[in-house]
Amino acid sequence: MIHFVILMSRQGKVRLAKWYSTYNMKERARVVKEITPMILARPLKLCNFLDWKNIKLVYKRYASLYFVCGVDAGDNELITLEIIHEFVEVLDRYFQNVCELDLIFNFHKAYYILDELLVAGELQEPSKKAIHKHIHDQDELVEKAKNGTAEDGQAK
């Protein structure tokens, strides 16, 4: 299973962190602190896997962002890379050419998308199209509610 997903910039700034195993706040900070330099220090052409404690870090860099997953040592590293790629593709389509700034200002949306992709550290939806549909539907629900309350306000 995936224990955590962390998105970090090349400067080591965390842009998104999702924890599927139980880590308290202190442990979370420590994990980030320990893995950041390890990942950032690796030259590009090396493999995308790194042993760290009893888990394995699978990471990939997209433009200025590193996507890092901590998975069980026995997991399929290649398919984890594929999951990361799927996440990136969905983000890309949602934000239309996603860039780091999109994720900074809309971090909550990135989380919503991730929640449609992974639950309990496992992949829940292999179809990008389905994810889009669900995100889109929920966004619409929110819009509708917003307009609704706005109208209500006007009515009063």
Summarize as ranges the residues that interact with another protein (CB under 8 A): 1, 14-20, 22-25, 29, 45-51, 76-79, 81-83, 85, 104-105, 107-108, 111-112, 115, 119-120, 122-130, 134, 137-138, 141-142, 145-146, 149
Q: How far apart are CA 114 and CA 7, in angstroms?
A: 12
Q: Compute the least distance from the CB of residue 79 to another protein, in Å.
A: 4
Q: Compute the least distance from the CB of residue 132 to another protein, in Å.
A: 11
For another protein, the closer CB: 43 or 96:
43
Q: Compute the least distance from the CB of residue 35 to another protein, in Å.
A: 14
DSSP state of 106: T
Which residues contact residue 51 at a Cβ distance below 8 angstroms, ignoring those fewer than 6 apart?
Answer: 57, 73
Residue 109's nearest CA partner among 89, 130, 95, 129 is: 95
Residue 19's nearest CA partner among 70, 56, 61 is: 70
For another protein, the closer CB: 46 or 155:
46
For another protein, the closer CB: 63 or 149:
149
For another protein, the closer CB: 120 or 155:
120
For another protein, the closer CB: 63 or 136:
136
Q: How far apart are CA 11 and CA 33, in angstroms?
A: 12
Q: Compute the least distance from the CB of residue 127 to another protein, in Å.
A: 5
- H or E, element range at 32: helix 25-40
Q: How far apart are CA 139 and CA 32, in angstroms?
A: 31
Q: Compute the least distance from the CB of residue 15 to another protein, in Å.
A: 8
